[in-house]
Structure 1
């Protein structure tokens, strides 16, 4: 079997089974584990999978730049956003993470909503301008342009002084075993800090994020209170973790 054929087989197995075990695939193809591991390294370098001990898991396609993310799964995001906005109650303190789905959520909030919103995303803060009943607290720091959120020591310190009733957590992947992940180390730190200061944590997940894994761990799957996902997307493994699953 040619190298490109092996790589396509690996990607097909990931799509079908959600995991590739290097030892099993090498035995099936009568090839050395070193050969399979080399294929996995090259596919990981191309951003097509995430390597884990003994094999690989699907990589999230949502670690690409912001312009590309804006046009991904637009219809799904609108449905997820509407359901997320409906969870915000009068008088709550809500932390809204960055991301295109959470930005859509803000735009679905009723203009008459009364709440306090904390965010480290200048885009989220600006989108709340029409909501006169919303007090906005913007956490500053070093702007991470990939996600347009503030990170770094100043942001981390500010977050530790705040507390929220509800946190809309942005993830690039959620896997039942590997947990919730994202593509940037500093951003993962901020997300963990906010999660620890929030009474309830909700994540809005488009189809390609479910079962996918990015490089940096944010939390274990059962750290989430609930997830909002598209209807008919397989999520039995997530349900087994005890997460409340809301379908839209």
Structure 2
């Protein structure tokens, strides 16, 4: 089998099964594990898969930069955002992560909401200028790819705040890889923010469920729930639910 055909087969298996075990597929195809690992390495370098010990997982399409992400699954993000806003109690203090789904939350949040919103995203803070809520912007080194503040100064500032809810954006939600994103510093900042909230909810539009990125953020059991519009009978949704993960499906909260 030619290399191009092998890679297409591997991608099809990733889409179908949500993971590849190099040893198993090498035996199935009658090839060496080294050949499969080489193919997976090249798929990883092309951004089409994420290599993990023993195999690979589907790569998240949400690792592109902020501007490009605004065009990825906008309707899905609006549904997730509306369900997330429905969880916010009047007067609550909430932390909003950076990203396009939290930007959709700002659009869904009533301008009359009078709680407090904490964020490390200047784009989120700017979008809240016409809302009545108090806004606290965490500063630090600007990570331009995601338009958020990260680094030591941002983490130090985050450690001084507390909140009722944190709405966490990730690029991948996978039953074995957990919650992931594409940058190590951004992952550390997300963990710092999660540690400052009583409860953390993950914002997971459909394209992120079953996908993975390179850096772990949190294990699945560290969050109160995952808000998603992925179908409840989707194989990944069923696997997550079977593992005890609380899934808040958008059709449970929104029309």
TM-score by length of 1: 0.97
Matched with 1:196 is: 195
CA shift, 1:19, in A, is: 0.9
CA shift, 1:67, in A, is: 2.0
Matched with 1:109 is: 109
Deviations 1:149-197 (A, max 9, x none): 0001110100111111100001000112211000011100000111111
1:245 partnered with 2:244: no
d(CA) in 2 for partners of 1:243, 1:27: 33
Query: In terms of mean alpha carbon deviation, does 228-237 or 95-104 score higher?
Result: 228-237
1:144 partnered with 2:146: no
d(CA) in 2 for partners of 1:152, 1:229: 29
| Kept after mapping to 1: 8 A contact 2:206/2:230 | no
| Kept after mapping to 1: 8 A contact 2:205/2:230 | no
d(CA) in 1 for partners of 2:49, 2:64: 13
Matched with 1:160 is: 159
* Structure 2 counterparts to residues 213-228 of structure 1, below 5 A: 213-228=212-227
d(CA) in 2 for partners of 1:45, 1:3: 15
CA shift, 1:238, in A, is: 1.3
1:57 partnered with 2:57: yes
> RMSD of aligned C-alpha atoms?
1.0
CA shift, 1:231, in A, is: 4.9
Matched with 2:29 is: 29
CA shift, 1:242, in A, is: 2.2
Matched with 1:100 is: 100
Matched with 1:85 is: 85
Matched with 1:19 is: 19
Give the SS at the match of 1:213: coil
Matched with 1:129 is: 129
d(CA) in 2 for partners of 1:142, 1:45: 27
d(CA) in 2 for partners of 1:172, 1:231: 14
Unaligned runs of 5+ in 2: 251-255
Unaligned runs of 5+ in 1: none
Matched with 1:172 is: 171
Give the SS at the match of 2:8: helix
d(CA) in 1 for partners of 2:26, 2:96: 45
Question: Displaced runs of 4+ in structure 1, greater than 4 A?
Answer: none
* Structure 2 counterparts to residues 3-18 of structure 1, below 5 A: 3-18=3-18
TM-score by length of 2: 0.95
d(CA) in 2 for partners of 1:65, 1:159: 24
d(CA) in 2 for partners of 1:241, 1:25: 26
Give the SS at the match of 2:160: coil
Deviations 1:10-35 (A, max 9, x none): 00000001111111111111111111
Give the SS at the match of 2:221: helix
1:232 partnered with 2:231: yes
